[in-house]
Amino acid sequence: MNYTYRTMASPVGELTLLASERGLAAVLWEDDDPGRVRLEPRVKGGHHPLLDAAGRQLCEYFAGQRQAFDLPLDFKGTDFQKRVWAALLTIPYGETRSYADIARQIGKPSACRAVGAANGRNPISIVAPCHRVVGANGALTGFAGGLNAKRYLLELEGRSFAAD
């Protein structure tokens, strides 16, 4: 399977959008670890309706005009990862959940660390809002886009955090 991609500028840096024939497969960060999400081969795309829609919806999100995305998604991962990523999609705009909350939601209350690992490998950043997952004490925790990007996204959604 080939993945069509394009890049877009955003307030949190350049994002790379990847699509398969089934849906949006990834939103990657400018300095993303190349081993974090492995979707190959990639073909640079011109006009692609799904990438057009994803780019437009992300721009609307960053402008404060969109709180939910309406895109077909094509997650690639293990069954456990897909369960975690599906749980991310249920976190409302402007709210956060802890890793323990997600572990309980998917019926694996003792799997907090595994949930954290799956969250860190979420290929469809922002759209599947892994930035809305915080530590048990509400603190900002690791994020593929960096903690500054995580803070920016949460503040965009109306959350505020003390500077570290």
At 4-51, the pLDDT tens digits run 999 999 999 999 999 999 999 999 999 888 888 888 877 887 678 999
- Tell me the domains of the chain and their CATH numbers: 3-63 (3.30.160), 79-157 (1.10.10.10)
Q: Helix 79-88 and helix 112-120: axis angle, to 10°? A: 80
Q: What residues are labeled active site?
A: 130
* Higher pLDDT pick, 118 / 41: 118
What percent of the chain has a predicted confidence (pLDDT) above 90?
A: 76
Section 152-157 average pLDDT? 95
Whether this model's pTM surpasses 0.85: yes
Structure tokens at 134: 């915080």
Q: Residue 162's pLDDT is what?
A: 55
Structure tokens at 5: 């991609």
